[in-house]
Amino acid sequence: MTSIRRIERLQIKIREELGKIIIKEFDFAFGTLVTITRVELSEDLTAVRIYISVMPERNEQDVLTEMNKEIYVVQQKFNKKMEMRPVPRIRFLLDETVREAAKIEEDLYNLKNKDK
């Protein structure tokens, strides 16, 4: 069993390396900001879920589609960068927590102003 500390260190390394690869490999629409918000590495180190946030939100599906279309190229470059075997298999997912947090904040703001 892999230690929690090792998994945390690897998640940081994975986030850094994939961030560099994404910057080099993708040319998103002007004004689109893509951020890796969370990295979840499986305990057996064979799979990694990469959660991304996309601003503006209207570009989310286009960005996710483009990233998943190029997943093979990203995985190859990632395999070369990582000094571990086996290298975890990448999966990109949209991070819904940013949207949910914004919605809650908006609801709280509206509730506060409703009472005035």
* 36-87 pLDDT, tens digit each: 999 999 999 999 999 999 999 899 999 999 999 999 999 999 999 998 888 9
- Helix (H) or strand (E) holding 44, with range, is none
Q: Which residue has the tokens 């996710």?
A: 64
Q: Containing domain of residue 33, as a range?
A: 4-114
Cα 107 from Cα 113, distance rounded (Å): 10
Q: Which residue has the tokens 């000094």?
A: 83
Cα 71 from Cα 68, distance rounded (Å): 5
User: For 1-23, how does the pLDDT look when each residue is reduced to its tens digit (9 = 90+)?
Assistant: 678 999 999 999 999 999 999 99
Report the number of distinct structural domains present in the chain.
1
Q: Is residue 86 reached through a cis peptide bond, with omega within 30 degrees of 0 on the bond before it?
A: yes
The pTM for the full model equals 0.82
Q: Which CATH number covers residue 96?
A: 3.30.300.20
